[in-house]
Structures are given as structure tokens and as C-alpha cells.
Amino acid sequence: MNALAIQIEGIGVWSPQLAGFHALQDLLAGEMPATGAARPPASALSPIERRRAPQSVLVAIEAASQAVAMSGRAASSLACVFASAYGDQVTTDYMCSVLARTPTELSPTRFHNSVHNAAAGYWTIAADCHAPSSATCAGSASFGAGLLEAAVLACADNRPVLLVCSDDVGVGPLGELIGGTQVFGCALVLSPGKDAGHRLRLALTASAPRHPPLPTECLAWMHDNASAAALPLLAMLATGRGDCVLAASEQLGLHVQREM
């Protein structure tokens, strides 16, 4: 077998330009989208955690909350996969700067925020979720590889899964090299069922990534943020049309088609 059948029960999107999935739908319909705030609300976190968490975590939590709310599922019941190509580049830049000068002055809180599963940790604590949680990456294929991991988990264990994929902007010498200049996060609640609206077929393929035409804004975000590689799929869900091939690794594609 090389294909999986899933359904999408919830969708979340956050960037400074997109307050939610409805804003992306507006953009794709040729309208001016409702812009996001400078900082994601991430109201699922307690005020203390919201102050302690870095922006990368807030973006992931905001997207996750939107998707879970749309699904109507209890956040505590969902297994989750948090994908990010580069993790928290701001924290990495801080860590490497301090380590180069005064390593014994490293902040313990910023160290625990530096783990790739920081967002998964904050989310499971806020949601009181004891289900399995993971944190993954696969370079520029992080969204497609994360989608494959989440869909496989949903189908193999017959359970709904929350997938979150987000990347922050890069700063400092690391940011100069990596080149991420856009914040972007998205989330899907997916399950192996057949009773919700968006039914998808995912198949492994040797084909290169491809997608139908997208607005220039989307193409720019895809250039400037690795997680925005999700936009072709999000556009499929928003418009109810088309198919796409997402990168799932350097060698492998994931062909996403709508199931009628």
C-alpha cells in the first residue's frame, strides 16, 4: 500500500497577515484578508505560560487552538505532531550568542524553551493532554513529512491527530544564513473517518512538488518560511478544488487529492 485516506476536521492558520483560515479564504477569493495581530493571541495558554513562552510557541499554539476549535474535539484527547523546519531560531540565536561570551549566564527557562518539542510541551500542559505528542522536522519538507507522520498515526492507531507546522523568523547570524523572514503557522485536525467535509487521499510519489497557481502573497510566504509549504494544501481546502504534490523528503513527494 502507498496511499492513506483521511479527513480534515479542523484547520488553523496564523501569520501577521492572516488571523485565521477565513482570512486565507478571503485572500484566495480575491478579497483583502483580515490581518493578524502583531503577536498571536494564543489564549489557550495561561497568562504565566504566555509570558514565558517564546513567539514560536505562541504561533504554534494559536494555530493549534483554531484547528481544534473547528473540529469540535476535546484538545485533551488528541495525539499531536508538532513540525517545524528550524525550531525556535530566536532562542537558538540567543543560546549561541550567550554561549560564545558568558556560557555560565545561560537562562534556564530559555534553555528549556530551546528544545524542538517546546511547543508540544506547552500545548500538552495547557490542554491537559496525556496522549502521545511528537516534534519533528525534515528540512524544507517539514510540512509534508509531518503530514505523513500525522496521517500514518491517525490511520495506524485509528485516532484523531492534531498536526501543527510552524516556523518563526530568523535573527542574527543564523537568520542571515537560513533566510526566514516571515512568521507562519498552521494546524490540521485529521482523522481516518469518512463523515466530515474534507476527505483526502495521500499517496507517496516520486513526482516533484507542484501546485495550482496561488496568489503572489502566498508564493512570497512560501519563499520566506519553510512551514508555508502547507499553503497549497490549505488552498485546496479553502477552495475545494485542485490537487498538489508536497515535498515529504528530498527524494519523496506526497500527492494530495480530494476524495469525492
Among residues 46, 111, 210, 239, the one that binds another protein under rule CB under 8 A? 111
Pairing state of beta strands 3-14 and 184-191? antiparallel
Residue among 34, 72, 139, 212 that touches another protein (CB under 8 A):
139
Rounded to 5°, the CA angle 104-108-110 comes to 110
Size of the site for another protein (CB under 8 A): 65
In 3D space, the residue among 94, 148, 146 whose CA is nearest the CA of residue 117 turns out to be 146
Q: What are the phi and psi torsion angles at 13 (to 5°)?
A: -145, 135
Indicate whether 68 belongs to the interface with another protein (CB under 8 A).
no
Q: Which of 146, 132, 167 has the alpha carbon at shortest distance from 55?
A: 167
Among the listed ranges 35-43, 62-70, 91-99, 213-221, the one in contact with another protein (CB under 8 A) is 91-99
Q: Is residue 106 part of the contact set for another protein (CB under 8 A)?
A: yes
User: Which range in 6-14, 30-38, 137-145, 193-201 contacts another protein by CB under 8 A?
Assistant: 137-145
- Near another protein by CB under 8 A: residue from 12, 33, 40, 87: 87
Among 69, 174, 196, 219, binds another protein (CB under 8 A): 174
Decide whether 16 or 172 has the Cβ nearer to another protein.
172
Specify whether the CB–CB gap between 44 and 234 falls below 8 A.
no
Does 134 sit near another protein (CB under 8 A)? yes
Alpha carbon separation from 53 to 42, 157, 219 (Å, rounded): 10, 31, 29
Of 224-253, binders to another protein (CB under 8 A) are: 248-252
- Which one of residues 90, 135, 231, 256 is an interface residue with another protein (CB under 8 A)? 135
Judged by beta carbon, residue 113 or residue 166, the one nearer another protein is 113
Q: For 25-90, give the DSSP string.
A: HHHHTTSPPPPPPSS---TTS-HHHHHHS-HHHHHHHHHHHHHHHHHT--GGG-EEEEE-SS--HH
Report the residue number, 127 or 236, with the smaller CB distance to another protein.
Answer: 127
Minimum distance from CB of 96 to another protein (Å)? Answer: 4
Cell numbers linked to 208:
516533484
Cα separation, 164 vs 21, in Å, equals 14
- Please, what is the minimum distance in Å from the beta carbon of residue 151 to another protein? 9
Site residues for another protein, 178-217, by CB under 8 A, read: 178, 204, 206
CB of 161 to another protein, least distance (A): 11
List Cβ neighbours of 162 (8 Å cut-off, separation of 6 or more). 64, 67, 68, 75, 78, 79, 80, 81, 150, 187, 188, 189
φ, ψ for residue 208, nearest 5 deg: -75, 155
List residues binding another protein (CB under 8 A).
Answer: 1-2, 4, 85-87, 92, 95-97, 99-100, 103-104, 106-108, 111-118, 120-122, 124-125, 127-139, 142, 145, 148-149, 152-153, 155-158, 173-174, 176-178, 204, 206, 248-252
